[in-house]
């Protein structure tokens, strides 16, 4: 980012202004150092993603966007709103409906040192391009003995939305996290979306960036530090969204919000739940997960994807391998139903985790089949 600023602005007074803006303040507050908790305003996840794209494109001319309807239509979900007018059709490219084609072009551009951001209208459509993502992007650095970097981001909505059926509702977190050479990120809040997308664009390796359609319009508090153009979150680090001492709940993307709501219900029953927002699926912050389990001695994993070979299964194995002797109860795993997503609304609700499922699992882990008030 700094190099791009030097190339664009030279060494005059404007560069000095940019550098002063980019440098973190020397007297940054301790709250900011702990995780940017000094909230100043609220922004939506949509605006957080848009601003991250805008700032990274402004800072680095090698960054460009490609996908269906990202330009003239301003993005299917308006994530790329205003970027075509600002950066022009050479850097915001509308494509035909051919995921295999434009993904392959993006990977080739990354081979040549550009930094493409490829948008899938839904990650279900990434299946059309999976050969380019896995065999071309993910493996090239290893197969070239480190001579080829592939700095590319694949982003778009992932997982269930509402009423869009089995072919548009699948969570691909476990699919892509299975592959060495890929980094897989799943933001929950506006801070996550902004900080992780900036980190993904700057990263030298391919990053799969899994958003959630139902979170785009949600607003979250953010601090001035998060809004600074130099802000980025570290890849591979989870965030403790709520501290607790009785049970650990791990979640990512939309499920973090469900976990927090469940934790609030549990607190009224005398159960203190610690909620971990994974943020990064690969690399997975095993240290943070195990440290929490060693404190609470209980674990509930939460995801909306299929249960078999899922993210929760990997977390369970990590805890069994590293912290088994600390467990005071069997691990509880909550996931989507092991069926293609139903279209009917009543069946769809039964196929994805609900807040009451989390509450029941936490009660079981704490040997509380019923609230304490009900057993008194």
Domains in the chain, number: 2
Q: Give the torsion through C-alpha atoms of 200, 321, 171, 73, to 10 deg.
A: -10
**Which residues, other chains included, contact 287 with Cβ-Cβ below 8 Å and sequence gap of 6+?**
none
Closest CA to 189 of 226, 225, 224: 226
CATH number for position 319: 3.40.50.920
Same domain? 190 vs 71: yes
Confidence check: pLDDT of 36 > 50: no
Q: Which residues are catalytic?
A: 99, 168
Same domain? 191 vs 275: no
Same domain? 192 vs 96: yes
Confidence check: pLDDT of 31 > 80: no
Distance CA 24, CA 275 (A): 29
Side-chain-facing half-sphere of 227: CA atoms under 13 Å = 13
pLDDT at 10: 46
Confidence check: pLDDT of 37 > 50: no
∠ Cα 213 216 218 (to 5°) = 125
Domain boundary among 227, 260, 284: 227
Same domain? 218 vs 261: no
Backbone conformation region of residue 77, classed left if phi is above 0, alpha if psi is from -120 to 50, else beta: alpha
Containing domain of residue 140, as a range?
Answer: 41-227
Confidence check: pLDDT of 212 > 90: yes
Residue 161 counted as domain residue: yes
Same domain? 248 vs 148: no
Domain boundary among 199, 227, 255: 227
Confidence check: pLDDT of 279 > 60: yes
CATH number for position 200: 3.40.50.970
Same domain? 306 vs 362: yes
Domain boundary among 202, 227, 252: 227
pLDDT tens readout for residues 93-104: 999 999 999 999
Same domain? 46 vs 68: yes
Average pLDDT for 247-265 = 98
Same domain? 247 vs 269: yes
Distance CA 196, CA 216 (A): 15
Residue 28 counted as domain residue: no
Residue 20 counted as domain residue: no
CB neighbours of residue 32 within 10 Å: 18
Average pLDDT for 215-220 = 97
Residue 1 counted as domain residue: no
pTM of full prediction above 0.75: yes
Q: Give the torsion through C-alpha atoms of 76, 80, 86, 87, to 10 deg.
A: -100
pLDDT at 353: 97
Place of tokens 């979170």: 215
Same domain? 180 vs 268: no
Residue 15 counted as domain residue: no
Q: Give the torsion through C-alpha atoms of 157, 158, 161, 167, to 10 deg.
A: 110
Same domain? 71 vs 195: yes
**Which residues, other chains included, contact 55 with Cβ-Cβ below 8 Å and sequence gap of 6+?**
198, 229
Read off the tokens for 290.
């195990």
Residue 214 counted as domain residue: yes
pLDDT at 2: 38
pLDDT at 208: 98
Residue 23 counted as domain residue: no
Same domain? 209 vs 245: no
pLDDT tens readout for residues 298-313: 999 999 999 999 999 9
Same domain? 110 vs 54: yes
Judge residue 29's burial from the number of C-beta atoms within 10 Å of its C-beta, 0-12 exposed, 13-18 middle, 19 or more buried: middle
Handedness of CA 241, 246, 248, 253 (dihedral sign): negative
Residue 145 counted as domain residue: yes
Distance CA 19, CA 16 (A): 5
């Amino acid at each position: 980012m700094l190099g791009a600023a030097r190339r664009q602005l030279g060494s005059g007074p404007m560069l000095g202004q940019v550098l002063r803006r980019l440098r973190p303040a020397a007297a940054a507050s301790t709250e900011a150092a702990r995780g940017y908790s000094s909230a100043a305003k609220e922004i939506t996840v949509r605006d957080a993603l848009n601003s991250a794209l805008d700032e990274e494109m402004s800072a680095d001319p090698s960054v460009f966007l490609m996908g269906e309807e990202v330009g003239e239509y301003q993005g299917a979900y308006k994530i790329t709103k205003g970027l075509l007018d600002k950066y022009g059709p050479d850097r915001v490219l509308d494509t035909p409906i051919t995921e295999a084609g434009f993904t392959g072009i993006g990977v080739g551009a990354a081979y040549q040192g550009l930094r493409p951001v490829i948008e899938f209208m839904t990650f279900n459509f990434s299946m059309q391009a999976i050969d380019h993502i896995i065999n071309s992007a993910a493996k090239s650095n290893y197969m070239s003995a480190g001579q080829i970097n592939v700095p590319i981001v694949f982003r778009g909505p992932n997982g269930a939305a509402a009423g869009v059926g089995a072919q548009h509702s699948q969570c691909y977190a476990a699919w892509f996290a299975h592959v060495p050479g890929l980094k897989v990120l799943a933001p929950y809040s506006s801070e996550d979306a902004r900080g992780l997308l900036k980190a993904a664009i700057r990263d030298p390796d391919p990053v799969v960036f899994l958003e959630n359609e139902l979170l785009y319009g949600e607003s979250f508090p953010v601090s001035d530090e998060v809004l600074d153009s130099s802000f980025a979150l570290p890849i591979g680090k989870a965030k403790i969204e709520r501290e607790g001492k009785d049970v650990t709940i791990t979640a990512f993307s939309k499920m973090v919000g469900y976990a927090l709501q469940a934790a609030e219900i549990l607190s009224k029953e005398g159960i203190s739940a610690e909620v971990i927002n994974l943020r990064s699926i690969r690399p997975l912050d095993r240290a943070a997960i195990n440290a929490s389990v060693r404190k609470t001695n209980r674990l509930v994993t939460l995801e909306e994807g299929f249960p078999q070979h899922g993210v929760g299964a990997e977390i369970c194995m990590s805890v069994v391998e590293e912290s088994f002797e600390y467990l005071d109860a069997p691990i509880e795993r909550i996931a989507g139903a092991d069926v293609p997503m139903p279209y009917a609304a009543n069946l769809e609700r039964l196929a994805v985790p609900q807040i009451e499922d989390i509450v029941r699992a936490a009660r079981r882990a704490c040997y509380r089949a019923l609230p304490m008030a009900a057993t008194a």
